[in-house]
Amino acid sequence: MKKFFEEFREFATRGNVIDMAVGVVIGSAFSSIVNSLVKDILMPFLGLLTGKVNFSGLSITLGGKAVLTYGAFLQAVFNFLLITLAIFFLVKTVNRLNSLRGKKEEKAEEAAPTKEELLLTEIRDLLKKGNEEQPND
């Protein structure tokens, strides 16, 4: 039993597991933000465009007692597509901003000469100066 707990402790404290746990916590917090974005911001606009269509009330009664609520499934699929679209645009925007920032950093790095380049430039200038000072025979 002691060996089991040691193995479990080793597994639980492994870096990847902790990183994954942090990702799950942040993901669940981000999920509430995205759900609010869809429910409180996107859906009212879509409601205006679609005439406030809500699929969740659609259902079929089977055999008098069993109810197949396919509308709730359709609404969940619709919400999923909206959330996916919102995340796609968010990721696309973040990637574009990172790309722009990376280009600025590359330009800054290209503009500044390295220490080695500075040293070689100094040596070249000293050699030119030495050749100019010596009279040609």
CA max distance for the chain: 116
Tally the domains of the chain: 1
pTM of the predicted model over 0.85: no
Residue ranges making up the domain that contains 34 = 2-129
From first to last of its 137 residues, the chain has per-residue pLDDT tens of 889 888 888 877 777 777 888 888 888 888 888 778 777 887 777 778 777 677 778 889 888 889 888 888 888 888 788 778 878 888 899 899 988 887 777 766 667 778 888 888 989 988 888 877 766 65
The answer to the question of residue 134 being in a domain is no
Give the dihedral sign, CA 50/52/55/61.
Answer: negative
What is the Cα–Cα distance from 102 to 95, expressed in whole angstroms?
10
The answer to the question of residue 125 being in a domain is yes
The answer to the question of residue 135 being in a domain is no
Cα 65 versus chain centre, distance: 46
SS3 call for 61: strand
The answer to the question of residue 137 being in a domain is no
Give me the helix-helix angle, 15-36 and 70-111, nearest 10°: 110
